[in-house]
Structure 1
Amino acid sequence: MRVGKSQYLFSPRSAASRLGLAGASLLTLAVAAAAQDATPPRRGIASPPAEATVQLDEITVEGRGGGALPPSAAAAAVRTVESPTGPVNGFVATRSATATKTNTPLIETPQSISVVGREQIDAQKAQTLTQATQYVPGLYSGTFGADSRIDYFTLRGFVASDYGIYRDGLQLLNYGFAYFRVDTFGLERIEVLRGPAAVLFGAGNPGGLINQVTKRPTLDPLRYVEVGGGAFGQGGFGYAAFDLGGPADADGHWFYRLTGIGRTGGTQVEGAPEDRVYIAPAFTYKPDGATKLTVLSSYQHDNAAVTANFLPYSGTVRPNLSGLRIPRSLNVGDADLNTFRRDQAYVGYEFEHAFDETWTVRQNLRYSFVESFQNSYIGQIGYSDAAETRLARYQFRDSARANLFQVDNQAEARFSDGFFRHDLLLGLDYKNYQLHDNQASTFPGPSLSILFPVYGQRVAAPTPYLVNADSFEQLGLYAQDQIKITDRLTLLLGGRQDFADNRVRDLLTPGNSNGRSDNAFTYRTALIYNFDFGLAPYVTYATSFQPQIGTDVNGQSFRPETGDQIEGGVKFEPPGAGYFVTLAGFDLRRSNVLTANPANTLFQTQIGEVRSTGFEASLTATLAEGLNAVAAYTVFGLTTEKGTPEQLGRVPVNIPENLASLFVDYTIPFGDWKGFGFGGGVRYIGRSFADVANTVRVPDYVLFDAQVHYNYENWRIALNATNIADRRFVSSCQAINSCFYGDARRVVASLSYKW
Structure 2
Amino acid sequence: MHISRFRSGALRAAALAGASLLALQAAQAQQANLPPRGGSAGSSVQLQELSVESQGPAGERYGPVPAVRPGPGAPENPNGPIDGFVAKRSVTALKTNTPLIETPQSISVVGRQQLDAQNAQNLSQATQYVAGTYASPFGYDTRLDYFLLRGFNASDYGLYLNGLQTLNYGFGYFRYNTFGLERVEVLRGPASVLFGAGSPGGIINQVSKRPTFDPLGYVEVGGGSYGQKYAAFDFGGPVDKEGHWFYRLTGYARHGGTQIVGLPDDSYFIAPALTYKPDGATTFTVLTAFQRDNTGVSANFLPYAGTVRPQALGLRILRSTNVGDRTFNTFQRDQAFLGYQFEHVFDETWTVRQNLRYSFGDSYQNSYIGNGYDLSDATQTQLARYQFLVKDRVNIFQVDNQAEARFFDGLFRHDLLMGLDYKDYRLSDNQGTNFGANPFYAAPNLNILAPAYGPTVGIPGPYQVNFDTFKQLGLYAQDQIKLTDRLTLVLGGRADFVDNQIKDKLNNGRNSNGRNDTGTTYRTALIYNFDFGLAPYLSYSTSFQPLIGTDINNQTFRPETGTQLEGGVKFEPPGQGYVLTLAGFDIHRNGVLTANPTNPLFQSQLGEVRSTGFEAQLVASVFDGLNVSASYTIYGLTNERNGDTALIGKVPVNIPENFANVFVDYTIPTGDWRGFGFGGGVRYVGRSFADQANLFRVPDYVLFDAQVHYNWERWRFQVNATNLADRRFVSSCQTVNACFYGQARQVLGSISYRW
User: What letter corresponds to residue 528 of structure 2 in structure 1?
Assistant: Y
The unaligned stretches of length 5 or more in structure 2 are: 1-30, 60-67, 436-441
CA displacement at 1:646 relative to structure 2: 2.7
**Identity between Structure 1 and Structure 2 (%):** 68
Q: Secondary structure at the match of 2:601?
A: strand
Distance 1:513 1:67 in 2: 53
Q: Is 1:425 aligned to 2:417, yes or no?
A: yes
Task: Tell me the equivalent position of 2:317.
Answer: 326
Matches within 5 A, 1:434-583: 434-443=426-435, 444-509=442-507, 510-583=509-582
- Cα deviation code 1:656-700 (max 9, x no counterpart): 000100010100000000000001100000000000000000000
Distance 1:67 1:182 in 2: 34
Alignment match of 1:58 (pick from 28, 46, 55): 46
User: What letter corresponds to residue 574 of structure 1 in structure 2?
Assistant: P
Q: Secondary structure at the match of 1:344?
A: strand
Question: Residues 67 and 737 from structure 1, CA distance in 2 versus in 1: closer, same or farther, beyond 3 angstroms?
Answer: closer
Distance 2:427 2:57 in 1: 53
Task: Tell me the equivalent position of 2:744.
Answer: 744
CA displacement at 1:67 relative to structure 2: 12
Distance 1:518 1:623 in 2: 50
Distance 1:84 1:555 in 2: 44
Task: Tell me the equivalent position of 2:136.
Answer: 142
- Cα deviation code 1:600-623 (max 9, x no counterpart): 110101110000000000100012
Q: Does the Cα contact within 8 Å between 1:55 and 1:78 map onto a contact in 2?
A: no
Task: Tell me the equivalent position of 1:659.
Answer: 659
Q: Does the Cα contact within 8 Å between 1:55 and 1:86 map onto a contact in 2?
A: no
Matches within 5 A, 1:596-635: 596-635=595-634
Q: Is 1:696 aligned to 2:696, yes or no?
A: yes
Question: Residues 530 and 376 from structure 1, CA distance in 2 versus in 1: closer, same or farther, beyond 3 angstroms?
Answer: same
Q: Is 1:357 aligned to 2:355, yes or no?
A: no
User: What letter corresponds to residue 460 of structure 2 in structure 1?
Assistant: P
CA displacement at 1:337 relative to structure 2: 1.4
CA displacement at 1:204 relative to structure 2: 1.7
CA displacement at 1:513 relative to structure 2: 1.0
Distance 1:748 1:560 in 2: 44
User: What letter corresponds to residue 500 of structure 1 in structure 2?
Assistant: V
Q: Secondary structure at the match of 1:123?
A: helix
CA displacement at 1:380 relative to structure 2: 2.9
CA displacement at 1:42 relative to structure 2: 1.3
Q: Does the Cα contact within 8 Å between 1:55 and 1:218 map onto a contact in 2?
A: no
Q: Secondary structure at the match of 1:646?
A: helix
User: What letter corresponds to residue 147 of structure 1 in structure 2?
Assistant: D
Matches within 5 A, 1:269-288: 269-288=260-279
Task: Tell me the equivalent position of 1:262.
Answer: 253
Alignment match of 1:339 (pick from 324, 330, 338): 330
CA displacement at 1:446 relative to structure 2: 0.6
Distance 1:736 1:223 in 2: 51
The unaligned stretches of length 5 or more in structure 1 are: 1-36, 69-73
- Cα deviation code 1:147-175 (max 9, x no counterpart): 11100000000000000000000000110
Distance 2:646 2:296 in 1: 36
Q: Does the Cα contact within 8 Å between 1:56 and 1:78 map onto a contact in 2?
A: no
CA displacement at 1:645 relative to structure 2: 1.5
User: What letter corresponds to residue 115 of structure 2 in structure 1?
Assistant: I
Q: Does the Cα contact within 8 Å between 2:656 and 2:685 map onto a contact in 1?
A: yes
Task: Tell me the equivalent position of 2:235.
Answer: 244
Task: Tell me the equivalent position of 1:303.
Answer: 294
Q: Is 1:390 aligned to 2:382, yes or no?
A: yes
Question: Residues 493 and 66 from structure 1, CA distance in 2 versus in 1: closer, same or farther, beyond 3 angstroms?
Answer: closer
Q: Secondary structure at the match of 2:359?
A: strand
Distance 1:377 1:674 in 2: 52
Q: TM-score, normalised by structure 1?
A: 0.92
Distance 1:77 1:507 in 2: 58
Alignment match of 1:183 (pick from 152, 177, 200): 177
CA displacement at 1:85 relative to structure 2: 0.4
CA displacement at 1:599 relative to structure 2: 1.3
CA displacement at 1:251 relative to structure 2: 0.6
Q: Does the Cα contact within 8 Å between 2:350 and 2:404 map onto a contact in 1?
A: yes
User: What letter corresponds to residue 646 of structure 1 in structure 2?
Assistant: A
Q: Does the Cα contact within 8 Å between 2:396 and 2:424 map onto a contact in 1?
A: yes
Q: Does the Cα contact within 8 Å between 1:138 and 1:194 map onto a contact in 2?
A: yes
Distance 1:189 1:53 in 2: 17
CA displacement at 1:76 relative to structure 2: 7.7
Distance 2:265 2:41 in 1: 35
Distance 1:57 1:626 in 2: 32
Instruction: Tell me the matched-pair count.
Output: 705
- Cα deviation code 1:513-548 (max 9, x no counterpart): 100000011000000000000000000000000111
Question: Residues 357 and 38 from structure 1, CA distance in 2 versus in 1: closer, same or farther, beyond 3 angstroms?
Answer: farther
Q: Does the Cα contact within 8 Å between 2:534 and 2:570 map onto a contact in 1?
A: yes
Q: Secondary structure at the match of 2:645?
A: coil
- Cα deviation code 1:686-733 (max 9, x no counterpart): 000000000000000000000000000100000100100000000000
Q: Secondary structure at the match of 2:589?
A: strand
User: What letter corresponds to residue 575 of structure 2 in structure 1?
Assistant: G
User: What letter corresponds to residue 144 of structure 1 in structure 2?
Assistant: F
Task: Tell me the equivalent position of 1:675.
Answer: 675
Q: Secondary structure at the match of 1:203?
A: coil
Q: Does the Cα contact within 8 Å between 2:69 and 2:82 map onto a contact in 1?
A: no
CA displacement at 1:323 relative to structure 2: 1.0
Question: Residues 121 and 66 from structure 1, CA distance in 2 versus in 1: closer, same or farther, beyond 3 angstroms?
Answer: closer
Distance 2:141 2:195 in 1: 28
User: What letter corresponds to residue 501 of structure 1 in structure 2?
Assistant: D
Question: Residues 65 and 530 from structure 1, CA distance in 2 versus in 1: closer, same or farther, beyond 3 angstroms?
Answer: closer
Distance 1:732 1:126 in 2: 22
Q: Does the Cα contact within 8 Å between 2:43 and 2:280 map onto a contact in 1?
A: no
Question: What is the RMSD computed on CA atoms of the aligned residues?
Answer: 1.7
Distance 2:412 2:41 in 1: 27
CA displacement at 1:77 relative to structure 2: 6.0
CA displacement at 1:223 relative to structure 2: 0.2
CA displacement at 1:598 relative to structure 2: 2.0
Task: Tell me the equivalent position of 2:186.
Answer: 192
Question: Residues 60 and 486 from structure 1, CA distance in 2 versus in 1: closer, same or farther, beyond 3 angstroms?
Answer: closer
Q: TM-score, normalised by structure 2?
A: 0.92
Question: Residues 213 and 75 from structure 1, CA distance in 2 versus in 1: closer, same or farther, beyond 3 angstroms?
Answer: closer
